[in-house]
């Protein structure tokens, strides 16, 4: 049995709760040991205490000087938009027309889809992300291509076919009926196959008819353990458009509520232009928020309000939203989230940023205990963070007086170079070339 054990010595960082609300939420073991058995966490703690529990002959990997923490969780990202990252436009709607739709058209070709999915997953793991909630395109073959690549790497990924049956080019349109039928077939094929999970994916209210939203809500009800992902209240022009398309709805969020889409495992990207009634409904229904700072700044969408979301105890998570987002790195994403919070008068602790990028994401997805921290039995998705990844980081992190300061410097200055290695279910999926 000892043949399946592996042990890793490093500083260990993980969370049992949100540091903004719980004083002892952070576990830090300066000289720590992470013991993995059969792709799952066996024990995590102080090296001096755990070394006695290590079965004879267990390989011990020495990462002293580095920090081992759970893999990052990016709760909103578009894999088909990888090739159009950093495309300039004066705002969301022109950006969709000019770049997004033509780029997504190419995913009718399964070979193209497989090629981009493979690059995308390599890039995620290079940046330390081990789980993501991923948009595919309207083409079912784009979903097969994605899950095939994810399954090859044994990653815990959530993805789904985009539903859109109006207000988009013909070449990207499904129908209410075909969209629901193809989604259901993909749920049966992929949901809970190995580590793969399915998300029902209406793109956003403007590109779906009421009939399509109705069927999406019905699917969400028929398959309550699937995920649901969409966009809401990202941009003021979009909000005005929704108001004209759904004049009887109380708000943009209310459109989704009306169709039964507010529920646990529903992930709403952006959530900038919400009101407090929307936030209260999110808290009540345990619908979650993906905060997408690099995208919101890049597209000029607006500033996320942390204080109001927290007042309603809405489950929060962080996301890149590539290709609207400008980086695959969750460290870069923390950097911009911090500045957005500052602009709104909120001070985001480094501890909380690392929580949001790990356990916060897992909780928002109702996957606590499976991913996001090192409780015994959790899947062994972890990263090896290098606090000295660049000359500047090495110099700066030598001069920090607390764990908070150390993590803060890594969040502000770190990026893909900070990730020395990434492990999924106990196996290496990325090793930095030094």
State the residues that interact with ligand GUN by CB under 6 A: 78, 92, 96, 100, 203-204, 231, 234, 295, 321, 324
Helices 140-153 and 110-126: angle between axes, nearest 10 degrees: 40
Q: Which residue's CB is nearer to ligand GUN, number 7 or number 77?
A: 77
* Stretch of 94-102, 269-277, 281-289, 404-412 lying at the interface with Zn ion (CB under 5 A): 269-277
Per-residue b or e along 368-402, where b marks 16 or more CB atoms closer than 10 Å to that residue's CB: bebbbbbeeebbbbbbbbbbbbeeebeebbeeeee
Q: Which residue's CB is nearer to ligand GUN, number 135 or number 374?
A: 135
409 interface partner picked from Zn ion, ligand GUN, none, CB below 5 to 8 A per type: none
Among 238, 321, 386, 415, binds Zn ion (CB under 5 A): 321
**DSSP assignment of 218-251, as one string?**
HHHHHSTTSEEEEEES--HHHHHHHHHHSTTSSS
CA angle 128, 134, 140 (to 5 degrees): 140
DSSP state of 272: -
DSSP state of 410: H
204 interface partner picked from Zn ion, ligand GUN, none, CB below 5 to 8 A per type: ligand GUN
Closest CB to Zn ion belongs to which residue? 321
Give the helix/strand (H/E) hosting 408: helix 403-413
- Strand ranges (E), 71-181: 72-78, 129-135, 157-160, 162-163
Q: Which residue's CB is nearer to ligand GUN, number 13 or number 200?
A: 200
Q: Which residue's CB is nearer to Zn ion, number 216 or number 424?
A: 216
Place of tokens 């409904």: 281
322 interface partner picked from Zn ion, ligand GUN, none, CB below 5 to 8 A per type: none
Question: What is the smallest separation between the CB atom of 57 and Zn ion, expressed in angstroms?
Answer: 48
Q: Which residue's CB is nearer to ligand GUN, number 78 or number 430?
A: 78
* Stretch of 28-36, 59-67, 222-230, 316-324 lying at the interface with Zn ion (CB under 5 A): 316-324
363 interface partner picked from ligand GUN, Zn ion, none, CB below 5 to 8 A per type: none
**Residues 16-75, interacting with Zn ion (CB under 5 A):** none
Question: What is the smallest separation between the CB atom of 418 and ligand GUN, expressed in angstroms?
Answer: 26
How far is it, in rounded angstroms, from Cα 99 to Cα 200? Answer: 24
Cα distance between the two ends of the chain:
34
92 interface partner picked from ligand GUN, Zn ion, none, CB below 5 to 8 A per type: ligand GUN
Closest CB to ligand GUN belongs to which residue? 324
271 backbone φψ class: left, alpha, beta (φ>0; ψ -120 to 50): left
Q: Which residue's CB is nearer to ligand GUN, number 129 or number 397?
A: 129
């Amino acid at each position: 049995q000892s043949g399946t054990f592996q042990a890793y010595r490093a500083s260990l960082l993980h969370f049992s709760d949100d540091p903004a609300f719980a004083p002892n939420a952070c576990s830090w073991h300066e000289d720590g040991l992470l013991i993995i058995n059969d792709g799952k966490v066996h024990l995590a703690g102080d090296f001096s205490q755990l070394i006695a529990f290590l079965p004879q002959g267990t390989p011990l990997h020495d990462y002293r000087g580095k920090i081992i923490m759970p893999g990052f969780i990016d709760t909103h990202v578009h894999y088909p938009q990888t090739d159009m990252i950093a495309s300039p436009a004066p705002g969301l709607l022109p950006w969709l027309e000019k770049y997004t739709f033509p780029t997504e058209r190419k995913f009718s070709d399964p070979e193209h889809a497989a090629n981009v999915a493979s690059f995308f997953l390599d890039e995620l793991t290079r940046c330390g992300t081990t789980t993501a909630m991923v948009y595919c395109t309207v083409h079912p073959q784009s979903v097969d291509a994605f899950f095939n690549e994810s399954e090859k790497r044994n990653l815990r990924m959530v993805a789904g076919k985009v539903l859109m049956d109006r207000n988009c080019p013909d070449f990207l349109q499904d129908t209410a009926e075909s969209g629901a039928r193809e989604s259901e077939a993909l749920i049966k094929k992929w949901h809970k196959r190995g580590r793969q999970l399915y998300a029902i994916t209406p793109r956003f209210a403007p590109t779906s008819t009421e009939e399509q939203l109705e069927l999406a809500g019905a699917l969400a009800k028929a398959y309550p353990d699937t995920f649901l992902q969409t966009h809401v209240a990202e941009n003021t022009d979009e909000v005005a458009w929704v108001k004209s398309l759904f004049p009887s709805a109380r708000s943009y969020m209310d459109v989704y509520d009306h169709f039964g889409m507010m529920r646990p495992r529903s992930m709403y990207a952006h959530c900038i232009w919400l009101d407090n009634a929307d936030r209260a409904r999110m808290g009540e229904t345990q619908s979650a928020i993906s905060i997408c700072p690099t995208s919101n700044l890049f597209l000029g969408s607006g500033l996320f309000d942390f204080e109001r979301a927290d007042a309603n105890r809405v489950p929060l998570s962080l996301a890149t939203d590539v290709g609207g987002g400008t980086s695959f790195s969750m460290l870069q994403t923390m950097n911009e989230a911090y500045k957005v919070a500052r602009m709104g008068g909120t001070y985001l602790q480094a501890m909380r940023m690392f929580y949001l990028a790990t356990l916060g994401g897992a909780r928002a997805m109702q996957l606590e205990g499976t991913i996001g921290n090192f409780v015994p039995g959790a899947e062994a998705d972890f990263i090896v963070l290098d606090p000295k990844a660049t000359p500047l980081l090495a110099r700066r992190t030598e001069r920090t007086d607390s764990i908070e300061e150390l993590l803060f410097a890594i969040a502000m200055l770190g990026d893909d170079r900070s990730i020395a290695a990434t492990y999924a279910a106990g196996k290496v999926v990325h090793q930095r070339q030094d």
